[in-house]
Amino acid sequence: MLQFDDVLKYLIGEFGPYQKLLLVLGTLMAVPSAMEAISPLFIIAQTDHWCKVPEVEEISKQVCLSNITDYNCMEAVKNFTIPRETTDEGCGAVSTFSQCYRYNLTTDSIMYMANGDYSHMNRSKIACDYGWEYDTSQYKSSVMQQYDLVCAERDYLNALATTIFMGGYFLGSILFGILMDRYGRMFGFLVAITGLLITGTIEAFAPNYIVFAVVRLFIGITAYGTYLAGFVLCTEIVGPSKRKFAGLIYAMGFALGYVLLALYAYLARYWWILQLIITVPCIGYYSYYWLMPESPRWLLSKGKNKEAEEVIRRFAKHNKVKLPDDIFDESWKPTAEDGYTVMHCE
């Protein structure tokens, strides 16, 4: 059976101009997976939070002067409504407002405050019973804020979403490995991109945490499918001596995804908008149906000789080399004593 490594070494070249172009295109296939893998840093960003206090408007009237700034007013109100906690952050004890408890203010406490008497305020603490308020100075919204993933009862759900995503990576390596071996690398990539478009869009509009977490699993599966397809294609279209180099270049697509995500996150401060910015441009990858050929190595392994020859001749045309009329007649293959040269067109 014709070996594609021999075709690369003796006919079309191990790393010709066309392979270089395809390597650049293939490297871009790693970008969606990279952005989805690191996106929890932004879409599940942890922000400062404190208990929502229903009496806050009445209290602010008592403690905030007409010329006080909004920030100082908020700090003053929090001093009367939120207890402080002392934590050791490695550089000494730090006093911060509690994120999970508030003072149990009563009507009498507010009346005393209205009369300027703060000594009779109720200082007993209760858990946040009216929800939370969040610092939106950096992130206008995040998954943590939208689904109240805070305090001991729900804080672990932030990390759980990432764990579920990585579980999807594991499943994707198995499922798409089987799919691409059976139906082709490009078929697997297009399936993965379609799945990523669907699940990424659903995630942006998830009505609750359960939907978000379940969809996160399928995003992990499909995101790894896009990465795996690109890696296999990039390493299969070059000769044996260039395979490690192709793998290293492909990893640059992951780095590019990180850089782009940082830019997108700077511009989009709402998590669901950021998720759509990551997802929607994946539509452009459908152009790869025409731009990126199927792996000739896979075609030959499946006995699809006609399709493989069409792709090989496409390689030869762009690399400007001349092929024999019948590439499956391996009489062109030199012996060890002959050496070899690639036949370039004039």
Residues 252-278: tens digit of each pLDDT: 999 999 999 999 999 999 999 999 999
Residue 346 in this model has a pLDDT that exceeds 50: no
Q: What is the mean pLDDT of residues 123-150?
A: 93
- pLDDT, tens digit, for every residue of 271-287? 999 999 999 999 999 99
Q: What's CA 156's distance to the chain center, in Å?
A: 20
**Residue 286 CA, distance from chain mean position:** 19
HSE-CB at 256 with a 13 A cutoff on CA atoms is 14
What Å distances lie between residue 258 and 28, 178, 252, 307, CA to CA? 12, 28, 10, 36
Q: What is the mean pLDDT of residues 89-107?
A: 80
* pLDDT over 90, % of the chain: 68
Q: What is the pLDDT of residue 70?
A: 63
The confidence score (pLDDT) of residue 89 equals 66
pLDDT digits (tens, 9 = 90+) for 4-35: 888 898 889 999 999 999 999 999 999 999 99
Tens-place pLDDT, residues 188-217? 999 999 999 999 999 999 999 999 999 999
Residue 55 confidence (pLDDT): 77
| pLDDT computed for residue 65 by the predictor | 59
Q: Averaged over 80-107, what is the pLDDT?
A: 81
- Rounded to 10 degrees, the C-alpha dihedral 231/235/241/244 comes to 0
